[in-house]
Amino acid sequence: MASGFRDMRMGMGWPRGWALFACLFLLGGCSDDWGWYVVDPSTKSGAINLKFLLQGYWYTLALSLTAISISIVVGLLVALPGLSSNRWLRGISRVYVELVRAVPILVMILWVYYGLPQIADISLSVFWAGVIALALSDSAFEAEIFRAGIQSIDKGQYEASRSVALSYRDTMRYVILPQAVRRILPALGNQFIYMLKMSSLVSVIGMQELTRKANELVVTEYRPLEIYTVLVLEYLVLILVVSALVRWLERRLA
């Protein structure tokens, strides 16, 4: 069994691992306390419930992809001043990172949704409130990832760029960042996985993603054990697929 789990971690034991998981899943479903009929695809009501739950995939992916894209851009813009020789620019970057990292994501979501519209006199949909909150929270971590990646590049690369009269912008664009991205790709992939999981918190403001769908179904069916078990499996499949894509991209860039 130990070797089977090692194989699964290495990506070679999927059939064995899934077979074991399926057996445990079915054995658990034999209990009289479990009402799998509520998510049984062979019944009309079960199929409808499963379809309802799966609809949350689109919102979870759209929310996470939009937020991570914005946070990467903001994180890079915050990281570059942090590498400057100007202490004031470094100070601004450091203050931003420390302040944003100190605020819990759930608090950030609530503040953006309920507080930001009053301060800025704007109207925010649930989707964009979630995107802004997640992007802000993640941008501080992205800034630190970019800073570490850029600092890991040998100084000889900068000197070689200056020797061929490249500007700072071109040096970053053509020489430093392409090398840094290869090194920080695993960290960026981990942040995307983290974003997928943290997107479940946006359910508190009514975002119709996976967790919100499950919560609503629990209220109508009164079977939390079965519904939340399906929710766990939904996130499990999503994270495993994303992890496999990240590893594939790492191999391609290597």
Q: Enumerate domains of the chain plus CATH numbers.
A: 58-205 (1.10.3720.10)
CB count in 10 Å sphere of residue 158: 16
Task: Say what the pTM is.
Answer: 0.81
pLDDT at 64: 95
Cα–Cα distance measured from residue 246 to residue 242, given in angstroms and rounded to the nearest whole number: 6
pLDDT at 7 over 70: no
Look at residues 204, 199, 244, 235 and name the one whose alpha carbon lies nearest to residue 63.
199
Tokens 């914005």 found at? 70
Cα–Cα distance measured from residue 234 to residue 236, given in angstroms and rounded to the nearest whole number: 5
CB count in 10 Å sphere of residue 215: 15
Q: What confidence tens digit (pLDDT) does each residue in 194-250 have? A: 999 999 999 999 898 999 999 999 999 888 888 999 999 999 999 999 999 988 988
Q: What confidence tens digit (pLDDT) does each residue in 143-197 have? A: 999 999 988 888 888 778 888 878 878 888 888 888 888 889 889 999 999 999 9
Per the CB < 8 A criterion, the answer to whether 49 and 117 are in contact is: no
pLDDT at 139 over 90: yes
Per the CB < 8 A criterion, the answer to whether 101 and 141 are in contact is: yes
